[in-house]
Amino acid sequence: MEEIVVADIGGTHARFSIATVSQGRVSSLDAPMILNVADHDTLESAWSHFRQNLGKPLPRRAALAVAAPVQSEILTMANNPWVIVRAELAEQLAVDNPLLLNDFEAVAHAVAHLDHDHQPYLCGPDHPLPENGTILTIGPGTGLGTASIIRHGGETLVRGAEGGHIGFSPCDDFEDRLLDRLRAIYGRVSAERVISGPAIIHICGLVADDMGEVNRNLDDKQLWTLALEGHDQVAMQGMVRFCRLLGSFAGDMALAHGATGIVIAGGLGKRLMNVLPRSDFFHRFIEKGRFETLMRKIPVRMIHYPEPGLFGAASALACQMAKE
């Protein structure tokens, strides 16, 4: 067994932990230290804070899941001001050959390695994810992440993607007007602009107008709290709309990738675990015209694990180490 450092760097929080791995599997994952990105100017600063509070030397092997495309030499994140220079990372963090992967690539690794008990049913056929085909992981949070798991002949390949940045495609009059409103602000409107934590502000703004209510200028955290507690009609209707939008997006992505399974993840996906099964998510997911029969055959599940990004990063490095 060997200890490794794992990190999950998102738009709002940076999570750090120590994992124990053996023979390509994660044996254990310590409780994480969760830091606010806004409290640290750089990744190196947050890493140093974690090291100082751990009380022991850090292992030399590390895996970092980052909310950014990881193919380039300089990594910039859409919702995080930190900049990561790949060539300087090992020296800055005092580790050997760190593994960098997209944050939702890490979540997909978690989906691939966690057992069925950690993947509760959402909709569609109620059976485990298929052993062959493409499984998509979709996660709304500070942004909107996507990743693919390709299974064939006992082999598993995981690939991160930036599906949240495809163009937003409205499905009804409300969404047409939402697109018009957002286009006036941003120009091009991506799916992430309407399917992410902050997007609830714009959705609720339009709902309030339709209901003749005064827009109270609440932030996204306040609106989500009101919606989930069921204490505010505008926020609740905004959440209804959000679930429909997520269902449409998930269905579009399933068609685009020929998916044989879908897993909803992300910080916001986790908070909506008890809401999505009772929402219009499934109706919008299968509402694909001539392909509705096909869509009904796709199992849609959720991931239920405390820190899937950390577990997935650890799983990815464990697999790499087993091949070395």
Q: Give per-residue pLDDT as tens, 49-78.
A: 999 999 889 999 999 999 888 888 998 887
Task: Report yes or no: 195 and 242 within 8 Å, Cβ to Cβ.
Answer: yes
Asked whether the predicted pLDDT for residue 11 surpasses 90, the reply is no
User: For residue 208, what pLDDT is reported?
Assistant: 96
pLDDT digits (tens, 9 = 90+) for 179-225: 999 999 999 999 999 999 999 999 999 999 999 998 888 999 999 99
User: CA-CA distances (angstroms) from residue 294 to 159, 166, 258?
Assistant: 24, 23, 10
pLDDT digits (tens, 9 = 90+) for 228-274: 999 899 999 999 999 999 999 999 999 999 999 999 998 899 999 99
Task: Report yes or no: 11 and 67 within 8 Å, Cβ to Cβ.
Answer: yes
Q: Cα(26)–Cα(305) distance, rounded to whole angstroms?
A: 14
- CA torsion sign, 262 to 164 to 33 to 49? positive
Which residue ranges form the domains of the chain, and what is each CATH number? Answer: 2-111+306-323 (3.30.420.40), 164-302 (3.40.367.20)
User: CA-CA distances (angstroms) from residue 83 to 48, 66, 80?
Assistant: 16, 11, 8
Residue whose structure tokens are 């067994």:
1
DSSP string, 211-264: HTPPP----HHHHHHHHHHT--HHHHHHHHHHHHHHHHHHHHHHHHHTEEEEEE
User: For residue 272, what pLDDT is reported?
Assistant: 95
Closest CA to 126 of 116, 136, 135: 116
Task: Report yes or no: 111 and 135 within 8 Å, Cβ to Cβ.
Answer: yes
User: For residue 154, what pLDDT is reported?
Assistant: 84
Q: Cα(181)–Cα(167) distance, rounded to whole angstroms?
A: 15
Q: Cα(121)–Cα(53) distance, rounded to whole angstroms?
A: 38
Average pLDDT of the residues of the chain: 94
Torsion of CA 84, 86, 92, 97, to 10 degrees: 140
Task: Report yes or no: 261 and 133 within 8 Å, Cβ to Cβ.
Answer: yes
Asked whether the predicted pLDDT for residue 79 surpasses 80, the reply is no
**Per-residue DSSP letter, 317:** H
- pTM (two decimals): 0.90
User: For residue 84, what pLDDT is reported?
Assistant: 92
Q: Where are the alpha helices (DSSP H) in the chain?
A: 43-54, 86-93, 103-113, 173-186, 200-211, 220-229, 233-257, 267-271, 281-286, 292-295, 308-323
The mean pLDDT of 141-146, rounded to a whole number, is 89
Task: Report yes or no: 288 and 295 within 8 Å, Cβ to Cβ.
Answer: yes
Please tell me the number of Cα atoms within 13 Å of 29 on its side-chain side. 22
Task: Report yes or no: 230 and 239 within 8 Å, Cβ to Cβ.
Answer: no
